[in-house]
Structure 1
Amino acid sequence: MSERATIYGEPIPDSELTFDARKGDIFKVEEGKKEWVQIMMFSDSKRYIRSSDVDFTTEQPVAPSDPEMLNKFCAKVKTAKRKATNEAALKYAENIRRQRIFERLLFDRYILEAFRKFDIPATKPSKLVECIDDSPIYERRIKN
């Protein structure tokens, strides 16, 4: 297994909507099939990872406790939301459905970037900051 796994918008290898998860990232599994695992992303959109790229875990990562870092991370999340909303509105001003899909995709990418910037494994659900999500159980992680 490589250090990364592709997250797909649909359970097909040539899906248009893709970005990368990294080893150690943890996402809640919505549904598992033979070849694909359906995960929930930060935007509450369902995405897909190949089953061969994930391991089952009930591990809950320890959230950083530094209040200053948490405040900066939360500010980054809020900026990601605004940025995704604005960019999607500009690109798909005439098509609300496409705008919402693109907004969620951008939000997921920007949140992953925030986790990378702070050198924290991405987790969904996340106890790191309430401004992302507050749900309790971690079910899958990218293979070590």
Structure 2
Amino acid sequence: MKENQIPQIAVSANASLFLYLKERIGDRKSKVEAYCDLLDKASKRFVSRFLRNKDYEIGTNQCHVTITDLAAEWHWHRATVRTYLERMEAFGLIQKITLPKSIVITIPESMSLSELKEGFTSLESSESEAQILDND
């Protein structure tokens, strides 16, 4: 083997390991946590308190939010929230209707909300276990 070649190593890892390794900065939500929040809001047909007087009917698997509210809740910049939502839409995980001062987010019906929430809940519990291991 030449001196400047780096040997390749196969590493076996699962989601729990990556959740353990991810950096946690204050109260800022991770992208996974933000998506879980959107799933939760859509399943409850959440409407932001500032939008409750607006004339927009929320359907199944939808939530009506503002970028500013999500930014404050997730501790992100508004531009980061906008980019995140665009990427989630590009992945096909959400559909969004942009209104003048708000967004209606829909989780596509082809996705089972309960299955997605259960999957992310198990990831979050794995993260808690990883934090416990970290403290030992």
TM-score, normalised to structure 2, is 0.26
More strand by share: 1
Computing the radius of gyration from Cα coordinates, the structure with the larger value is: 2
